[in-house]
Amino acid sequence: MKNQEHILIIGAGLCGSLLALRMAQRGYKVTLMEKRPDLREEIVDSGRSINLAFSDRGMKGLRLAGLEDKVLPLCIPMNGRMIHSADGQLFMSAYSGRNHEYINSISREDLNIMLLNECDKMPDITMHFNQKCTGVELETAKATFEDYKTQKETHYQADILMGADGVGSALRKSMLDHRKFLFSYGQDFLTHGYKELSFPASADGGFLVEKNALHIWPRGKDMMIALPNLDGSFTVTLFLSWDEGKDSFESLNSDAAILDYFEREFPDALALMPNLIQEFKENPTSPLGTIKCSPWHAYGKVLLLGDAAHGIVPFYGQGMNSAFEDIDVLDKALNKHEGDWKAVFKAYQDERKEDTDAIADLAVDNFHEMKAHTARPIFQEKRKLEIAFENEFPQEYFSKYSLVTFREDLRYSEAMRRGRVQDKAILNLIYDGKFSESMTLQEKLNLVKQETRKMLHDDEVVEGLEEE
Amino acid sequence: MKNQEHILIIGAGLCGSLLALRMAQRGYKVTLMEKRPDLREEIVDSGRSINLAFSDRGMKGLRLAGLEDKVLPLCIPMNGRMIHSADGQLFMSAYSGRNHEYINSISREDLNIMLLNECDKMPDITMHFNQKCTGVELETAKATFEDYKTQKETHYQADILMGADGVGSALRKSMLDHRKFLFSYGQDFLTHGYKELSFPASADGGFLVEKNALHIWPRGKDMMIALPNLDGSFTVTLFLSWDEGKDSFESLNSDAAILDYFEREFPDALALMPNLIQEFKENPTSPLGTIKCSPWHAYGKVLLLGDAAHGIVPFYGQGMNSAFEDIDVLDKALNKHEGDWKAVFKAYQDERKEDTDAIADLAVDNFHEMKAHTARPIFQEKRKLEIAFENEFPQEYFSKYSLVTFREDLRYSEAMRRGRVQDKAILNLIYDGKFSESMTLQEKLNLVKQETRKMLHDDEVVEGLEEE
């Protein structure tokens, strides 16, 4: 009989439950510890966003675990951004010029339940809920948990400890507090916070606005978005400054101030929000932050994955997707180095860190793009041109958004490098009036390619010289 | 009589003592608290580098306090980098093509003593040594100190609390631990650590190698440098990987290993290091890290300055210089908003944060430049060209190094923006063979300017659009 190594995973959220499944599929004995109650038995107010954008990189992770068919029924395709302009106009901006490329709205809870049910089917996975991690010994992979309900303390001795315990990771905190190695760590907050609100379903259970879109109300400094849920409702999220400028969470401190703000900025949405005032006052306002750290592992015994290793802001819809992709990258490192955990962890971080740093930075960029650029003519012109390129030359052109979201074969860091330069090239060509009316689309594409190539060359010369 | 506000400054190092002086000159009542003993009375092993590079931005801060004449006698001009190549060749690379531009080696201790003596002359400054800050109440500017010698605890109630208490800042720590506002914070370590060593003076008190240079032994992955001291000795610093690669602080774990490494890599230096083995084993190995945080202030009551707000790696020689420049920027914010501390602190950070972020990133870049690029032909060719430009066209051309180091009229962020693009332009022109033998220096300069302008334009279009 095989000598099974025992992996203890902290966190049975999206990342932890898929990780448990995959590790059990690989033959490990897995214990999965979750701080919250079992959300299949109790309503859990997670304090996190209700629905998420699910796309190709996330699917890669689920496919690895054989779950592609299980997730599809949970998805609502969103083909593009439905932009609600300040003057009440609607403008649909597709995510891609290739019709088969879109993102999906998915319920965090539904997806997590599906994953936990799959874990239940694996005899080598044991799950415990209401277990708060209160201490970790990094050198020996020992961990202590306290039961929220009984206050009983339990000690576990595992072979390997994996922290998939989210942005507030207990494992990461013990690595930061540990004084025996240098731990690089950053927490970086935006000036804005967010609050979840909602549109109800229509009386007959239908959708009050376009179902297959991610709705955006870009207002330059602030922004509101809405994602569809399977029951016909929408989860609405307001992104607003904490305390700066004319309107802020601080200034919206009365029913009148809230109403006035929505009447001024989002009148069409206000008409769909019968419970606005109550929701605004009762729902929490939460921070938006980026977490980066290194190393993700220690002593060949512990490893951080998902948000615990790299918390990102939600504006590229890549938080869950990057966590699921982590599992795919870890799986490949295991294929190469199984049996030597130090080598596995090192290979995993060497491959992955650059990419999660990239998606973290891209997500912050996209905050500015969504709240401001989507409303402005030059960026709309760029977007129209890119959609036309993708539609007419589907094998030749990929926008930055497509590179990041739909090209799961490409690393985030490479998608960022190419995408940023391409954006710079197109914006300059438009700004400098280099596209003439008489040019064909093919000629315009050639111009973009030529300018992008020149800029990439200039960057590559410097990067190449620096790396030698 | 004037109602004097009371400023309590934590830290009487270089930044804190100049800050105390300037605040007293402006009419405030100042209490200056220092954790260490008075270095005028006791030998203080600070654990920090013995000598520093002092240049124009630092002078700006000292000039503000009227100390230009006091600092000059402490300075040893360094006109360039003396590069000690692996094959034993010496190559002097000037810091600037303008002869009046150079940096200075200065003793941290001498400079600090000068500043403390100046503080002594101010009746409105009270100094206390051996006082460790053990707690801060941010909202009320209260602080508690413990005397190292008597263990006596003292409470202070100030109007304003300023933390100039270095990379390990107690004030910054209390801002990070404080849970009532979002505090962005990053600590980022290099893979290398450093260790201080020395060359003694010659028997007659002279310098064993060129006095007026910063000596560098660039070895690609590692590097050693040496700065002159007034007594004829040199302070030598080895920058080496902690535990990666063939040679590392981990691998140099015996007399034989240390000797072998120095014989292979730094034979000319080894000949000048009679106490190498002892120094190597007795002197600490220290980490190299960057600290960034925000906000630097809270409640209109507390403010971080210098390393406490922005710890940087030493490779641009700008740690002390940026701290002294901080005081100049704060002084200007006081000129505008004196009487409203919240406004002063906000104006100060709004102006300054972007620049200290820039010098932090530039300093990391320069690590790679110093340890690797200085030894390579294409970078040497670039440097030679730039020195020729600066020499022949002193009003027209400034290298990135000159922009950062000598153009104290220019913000760090602007120096970084211009300098990086210019570097990219020149490296591409050399790499692509665009400089021909037959061109005059003026023609070469024109080419660099043209290419730089084009690249800056491309960047500015994107940045301009993003900021609108």
Calculated CA dihedral for residues B87, B92, B95, B99, nearest 10 degrees: 180
Give me the CATH topology for the region B6-55+107-186+289-366: FAD/NAD(P)-binding domain (3.50.50)
B458 touches chain A (CB under 8 A): yes
Nearest-by-CA chain A residue for B373: A466
Find residue B309's DSSP bridge partners: none
Q: Report the residue from B187, B459, B462 with minimal CB separation from A185.
A: B187
- Cα angle A355, A358, A359 (rounded to 5 degrees) comes to 90
With an 8 Å Cβ cutoff, are B185 and A186 in contact?
Answer: yes
For residue A184, give the nearest of B187, B378, B458 by CB distance.
Answer: B187
Predicted pLDDT of residue A373: 78
Please indicate if any CB of chain B lies within 8 Å of the CB of A185.
Answer: yes
Q: Is A382 part of the contact surface with chain B (CB cutoff 8 Å)?
A: no
Residue B462 has its nearest CB partner, among A424, A432, A457, at: A424
Superfamily of domain A6-75+107-186+290-368: FAD/NAD(P)-binding domain (3.50.50.60)
- Chain B nearest CA to A201, separation (Å): 36
The yes-or-no verdict on residue B365 having pLDDT over 70 is yes
Question: Residue B82's beta-bridge partner residues?
Answer: B92, B215
Residue B323 CA to residue B262 CA, distance in Å, equals 35
pLDDT, tens only, B130-156 = 999 999 999 999 999 999 999 999 999
Instruction: Choose from A367, A371, A465, A467 for mutation: most chain B CBs within 10 A.
Output: A465
What DSSP designation does B73 have? G
Through-space distance between the first and last CA atoms of chain B, rounded to whole angstroms: 49
For B97, B215, B306, the CA distances from B375, given in Å and listed in that order, are 20, 13, 32
pLDDT single digits (tens) A334-355 = 999 999 999 999 999 999 999 9
Task: Give percent of chain B with pLDDT exceeding 70.
Answer: 98
Q: Which residues of A touch B185 (CB under 8 A)?
A: 185-187
Q: Cβ contacts (< 8 Å) between B187 and chain A: which residues?
A: 183-186
Q: Do B424 and A466 touch (CB under 8 A)?
A: no
Cβ of residue B187 closer than 8 Å to a chain A Cβ: yes
Distance CA A386, CA A445 (A): 9
Calpha distance A228→A78 (Å, rounded) = 9
Chain A residue closest in CA terms to B455:
A455
* Cβ pairs bridging A and B (under 8 Å): 81
Chain A CB contacts of B175 under 8 Å are none
The b/e string for B175-210 (b: 16+ C-beta within 10 A; e otherwise) is beeeeeebbbbbbbbbebbbbbbbbebeeeeebbbb
pLDDT band at B1 (very low <50, low <70, confident <90, very high): very low
Instruction: Please report the pLDDT score of residue B313 as a whole number.
Output: 97
Decide if A436 touches B, using CB distance below 8 A: no
User: B428 vs chain A: nearest CA distance in angstroms?
Assistant: 6
Residues of B in contact with A378 (CB under 8 A): 465
Q: Do A242 and B182 touch (CB under 8 A)?
A: yes
- Which residue among A182, A187, A457 sits closest to B184, beta carbon to beta carbon? A187
CA distance B294 to chain A (A): 9
What average pLDDT does chain B have? 95
Query: How do residues B443-464 score in pLDDT, each as one tens digit?
Result: 999 999 999 999 999 999 988 8
- Whether A437 has its CB under 8 Å from any CB of chain B: the answer is no
Would you state the pLDDT for residue A464? 83
Report whether A183 contacts A295 (CB < 8 A).
yes
Min distance A203 CA to chain B CA atoms (Å): 41
Mean pLDDT of B414-438: 96
Q: Are strands A234-241 and A222-228 parallel, antiparallel or unpaired?
A: antiparallel
Chain A interface disruption, residue of B187, B378, B458, most A CBs within 10 A: B458
CA distance A435 to chain B (A): 16
Amino acid residing at B170: A
Can you give the pLDDT at residue B2?
57
DSSP assignments along B223-253, one per residue: EEEEEE-TTS-EEEEEEEESS-SSS-TTT--
pLDDT given at position A68: 97
Among candidates B186, B187, B427 on the partner chain, residue whose Cβ is nearest the Cβ of A461: B427
Interface check B389 vs A, CB under 8 A: no
- Distance CA(A134)–CA(B452), nearest Å, equals 55
Over residues B397-402, mean pLDDT: 97
| CA proximity to B241, closest of B287, B187, B197 | B287
Question: To which residue do tokens 């609050």 refer?
Answer: A195
Show the low-confidence residues of chain A (pLDDT under 70): 1-3, 45-48, 468
Q: Does A364 touch chain B (CB under 8 A)?
A: no
Cβ contact B188–A186 (<8 Å): yes
Task: Flag whether residue A204 sits within 8 Å of chain B, measured between CB atoms.
Answer: no
Q: In the prediction, which pLDDT does A1 show? A: 42
Q: Please report residues of A whose CB lies closer than 8 A to that of B362.
A: none
**Is A462 in Cβ contact with B423 (below 8 Å)?**
yes
Measured from the Cβ of residue A153, the count of other Cβ atoms closer than 10 Å reads 11
Chain segment B154-199, per-residue pLDDT in tens: 999 999 999 999 999 999 999 999 988 999 999 999 999 999 999 9
B439 touches chain A (CB under 8 A): no
**Closest-CA residue in chain A for B379?**
A465
Distance CA A440, CA A261 (A): 45
Q: Which of B182, B188, B379 sits opposite A287 (nearest CB)?
A: B182
The stretches of B124-219 forming alpha helices (DSSP H) are 170-177
pLDDT value, residue B371:
81
Q: Give domain limits for chain A.
A: 6-75+107-186+290-368, 187-287, 376-467
ipTM: 0.91
Hey, are the CB atoms on B188 and A189 less than 8 Å from each other? Answer: no
- More reliable by pLDDT, A47 or B85: B85
Q: Which residues of A touch B376 (CB under 8 A)?
A: 468
User: Rounded distance, CA A251 to CA A343, Å?
Assistant: 52
pLDDT tens digits, one per residue of B17-74: 999 999 999 999 999 999 999 999 987 765 567 889 999 999 999 999 999 999 999 9
B458 Cα to chain A: minimum distance (Å): 6
Contact with chain B for residue A165, Cβ under 8 A = no
